[in-house]
Copies of this chain bind each other. A is one copy, B any other.
């Protein structure tokens, strides 16, 4: 693995640019939904009091959108509506995922549904998705049909990615009740679940900046491949992650019958370890010892190595897609920084 790095300066810069726009967008939510959204984003606690210090995600998606505008020769500000929109869509999916997966904790805090109930969490997620489209489409409001067409194209890019993400989530759920899935099926699910939205994040800014299709396509490929690298790491964290870092119990994916890449790859092997693993994963209510044993078996069957290799391979593909595109050179280097940061999260 590549050594752990700190948050690149470029992510901080994009965050500083996008954060006020994101807060302004959340202010538009109705009073019944806003507190749930602000809580989920780590801005407020569950009583509506401001939280000290920055919470929430790492800010990779908004950074990609801002950089994507700059990479295509546009101003950083041009990418901000894209940054806000992808962040809203990403968090819509997290809120609904927590309902679907029955997850009671995220980022060391109770999930939205765990506090406000399923109904209100569903509505809050819905509100973020609608808001994402509003923010993006307003970028093209006014009398200039070219600006209108660009924001329409960006909104289409986001809607396509959202649809692919939802299809990936549906597949992920369906996999939980299957004894095993092929590695290809798993990767195809992950391309939808994670790749699509990172692809949108990495290209939205360039679409808003009016870049040629060739450039926006190359940036999207970069994002999709980076998303797959990111997901491979996430799959490793889902089994061997430090709960103190991930905010989720260790071995979580094993308990939830997820067919992530290391698990799918391990189950696809033959021999007594794979059989023992299949036996464990086929049961509910595993003990702590059984979860630890299942994790060992995934490793013994080569699942851990396979996911680690996938992360490296996808990062290489992402960087290759970047090289092929006609981009502002200094920004290309920043995109490489962000990409390397994404695949070096701690275990």
A170 in complex: contacting residue of B127, B141, B152, CB < 8 Å: B127
- Residue from A101, A125, A152, A170 whose CB has the most chain B CB atoms within 10 Å: A152
> Which of B30, B140, B166, B167 contacts A149 (CB under 8 A)?
B140
Contact of A126 with B123 in the complex, beta carbons under 8 Å: no
Question: What's the Cα separation between A118 and B126 when bound, in Å?
Answer: 15
Identify which of B100, B138, B140, B148 contacts A123 (C-beta below 8 A).
Answer: B100
A24 proximal to B (CB < 8 A) = no
User: Which residues of B have CB within 8 Å of A137?
Assistant: 152, 155-156, 159
Task: Assess whether A30 is in contact with B170, with CB atoms less than 8 Å apart.
Answer: yes
**A316: CB under 8 A from chain B?**
no
**CB-CB contacts below 8 Å: A291-310 with B:** none
Is A171 in the interface zone, CB < 8 Å from B?
yes
Q: Judging by beta carbons under 8 Å apart, are A156 and B170 in contact?
A: no
Residues 148 to 168 of chain A near chain B (Cβ within 8 Å): 148-153, 155-156, 159-160, 162-163, 166-167
Partner of A138, one of B151, B156, B171: B156
Which label, helix, strand, loop or mixed, suits the secondary structure of the A interface? helix
Contacts of A331 in B (CB 8 A): none
Residue on B nearest A170 in the bound complex, by CB: B32
Q: Annotate A12-55 by CB proximity to B: 1 below 8 A, 0 otherwise.
A: 00000000000000001110110000000000000000000000
**Nearest residue in B to A123 (C-beta to C-beta)?**
B170
User: Total interface residues on A, using CB and 8 Å?
Assistant: 48
Chain B: which residue is nearest A162 at the CB level?
A: B130
Copies in the complex: 2
The answer to whether A269 has its CB under 8 Å from any CB of chain B is no
> A100's closest neighbor in chain B, by CB?
B119
Which residues in B have their C-beta under 8 angstroms from that of A221?
none
Q: How far is the CB of A314 from chain B (nearest CB, A)?
A: 22
A91 to chain B, nearest CB (A): 13
Across the interface, do B148 and A30 meet the contact criterion of CB distance under 8 Å?
no
Q: Are A131 and B174 in contact (CB under 8 A)?
A: no
A-B residue pairs, 10 tightest by C-beta: A152-B152, A148-B149, A30-B167, A32-B170, A100-B119, A137-B156, A133-B159, A145-B149, A130-B163, A130-B162
What are 10 pairs between A and B in contact, CB < 8 Å?
A29-B167, A30-B171, A96-B123, A99-B119, A127-B166, A130-B159, A137-B155, A137-B159, A145-B148, A149-B152
- Partner-B contacts on A (CB < 8 A): 28-30, 32-33, 92, 96, 99-101, 118-120, 122-123, 125-127, 129-131, 133-134, 137-138, 140-141, 145-146, 148-153, 155-156, 159-160, 162-163, 166-167, 169-171, 173-174
Q: A130-B159, A133-B159 are in contact. List 12 more A-B contacts (CB 8 A).
A: A28-B163, A29-B167, A30-B170, A33-B170, A100-B122, A120-B170, A123-B169, A129-B130, A133-B162, A140-B152, A148-B153, A152-B155
